[in-house]
Amino acid sequence: MGSVAVVGASLAVLGPGKVVRDATIVVEDGVISGIGAGVKPPRGVERIDAGGKAVIPGLVNLHTHSTQVVIRGLLDRLPLAAWLRLSDSAYGILGRGDMEAAALAFLLDGALCGTTAFLDMERDVEAAASAAARLGVRLFEAYAMVDTVETGRSGLERLWSAEEEAARARRLASRRWPGRVKLLYGPVGYPSSSFELIEEAVEAAREEGRRVHMHLAETPVNARLARLRGYRGELEELEARGLLGPWLIAAHAVALDGYGVAALAKYGVSVAHCPSSNAKLGNGAAASWELARSGVNVGLGTDGAGSGDSASMLWEMRAASLIQRAVSGEAWRVSAREAFAMATINGGRALGERIGALRRGWAGDMVLLDLRDPSLWPPDRLVENLVFSASCRAVDTVIVGGDLIVRDGLPVREELLSEARRSLAEARRKVVEVLGGGEEW
């Protein structure tokens, strides 16, 4: 954990609705120790002149699949079911090095756009963890737990027992992970994860004080399949088994009725809203406005680059606001301040971490934006510009836990760019051999 002083920032957005001028922020041993106009940096701490720059909290990507960048652009115009089938076929040919290269490429892309923390879901957690540790970002890696495969005509086949898969997850969780990596339990969601497996994941997480991350209500199909198989439904079964609670971060939540919205609010479930991916796959738009107004903590995720494509949380904030306004016909829905909260402090709240705001005692994760960039002009409405016009080009410096990982718009470890590009190209070649170039789609 590092120590650094960001001195004399022209503007500092400490959190939604709180902007100060001429701010100095001191980070010692990874934690913010001082913040304000009159703060004096201690001796021996590296000083960064932030004149002409704005400082914001590091952005929190609350749902993604980092290695999917290897299939970016190949499966456009496919609905979710066909997309899942073809994307799954690509992963059987990729090795550990391919997966690490893909994860590194995605995390680099996100970091260069101001993301400092990622909630990722992968089966190969070692590859993602290694990539994150090398770059220096904060990674919450949800081990993708599965025990069932669909066999056609809504048939399901067990791969192994829920107990076996839970034991694997527990062993991974007990390991010491490098850098700023923490492991979560990540049952993929019904039917890939049986309700028994989800139950095992929640039990383990509650025993160990961890979060659970899963897909929920991405489409109406899984709820109907659950009922066909004799269950109450997707969400109803989780509620009946006592699996809904503040430990759960549910990705998507698109296919919810009034009961579903009320249930998530009642049990304190957080939602990772992925507007771009849901729109691109034709799944619709989650009722993020209604969820938030019902008391649900709503964060933002890009989803994987195979479906959402972009790693930019700046883009995702914009989509979160514009899509809600488009589907409702109400221009006042999801203000810039609300979208900014989704991408910062709400994500930190979902993870149970002191990230997503600039406060004493919180993690020293922040982004310096160059106010000379035209996408931020005029700067007197900075938060509105961040949501509706800002370009990743404006990201000058990214600091995670007091350590610089991006400076002057480039990774501090510049060799990671060329390495990731070269290794990703080889992985892409393998995938294209299986899927083709994508013209037929």
**Of residues 21, 25, 20, the one with CA closest to residue 41:** 25
User: How many Cα atoms are found within 13 Å in the side-chain-facing hemisphere of 359?
Assistant: 13
Which is higher by pLDDT, 321 or 89?
321
Residues of the chain with CATH 2.30.40.10: 4-57+358-408
DSSP-assigned letter for residue 70: G
The pLDDT of residue 439 is above 60: no
Q: How confident is the model at residue 79 (pLDDT cuts 50, 70, 90)?
A: confident
User: Is the preceding omega at residue 378 within 30 degrees of 0, hence cis?
Assistant: yes
The pLDDT value given to residue 440: 45
At 154 the pLDDT is 65
22-48 pLDDT, tens per residue? 999 999 999 999 999 889 999 989 999
- CB of 149 closer than 8 Å to CB of 192: yes
Please tell me the predicted confidence (pLDDT) of residue 81: 76
88 vs 24 pLDDT, higher one: 24
What average pLDDT is seen over the chain? 94
Q: Using only C-alpha atoms, what is the Rg of the chain?
A: 21
Q: Are strands 180-187 and 138-145 parallel, antiparallel or unpaired?
A: parallel
CATH architecture for residues 4-57+358-408: Roll (2.30)
Work out the percent of the chain whose per-residue pLDDT is above 90. 88
pLDDT of 368 above 80: yes
Class of domain 59-351: alpha beta
Residue 99 in 3-state DSSP?
helix
Residue in this structure with the two tokens 């495969």, named with its chain if needed: 149
Whole-angstrom distance, CA of residue 210 vs CA of residue 183: 8
Q: What is the three-class DSSP state of 153? A: coil
Cα within 13 Å of Cα(248), Cβ side? 30
Would you state the pLDDT for residue 84?
A: 78
Mapped onto helix, strand or coil, the DSSP state of residue 217 is coil
- For residue 293, what pLDDT band results from cuts at 50, 70 and 90? very high
Q: Which residues contact 318 (CB under 8 A, 6 or more apart)?
A: 339, 387, 388
List where CATH 3.20.20.140 sits in the chain.
59-351
pLDDT tops 50 at residue 441: no
The pLDDT, as a whole number, for residue 437 is: 62
* DSSP states along 363-423: B--EEEEETTSGGG-SGGGHHHHHHHT--GGGEEEEEETTEEEEETTEESSTHHHHHHHHH
Both tokens of 246, joined, read 């503040």
Q: Are 42 and 30 within 8 A, CB to CB?
A: no
pLDDT of residue 17: 82
Each residue's pLDDT tens digit, 266-277:
999 999 999 999
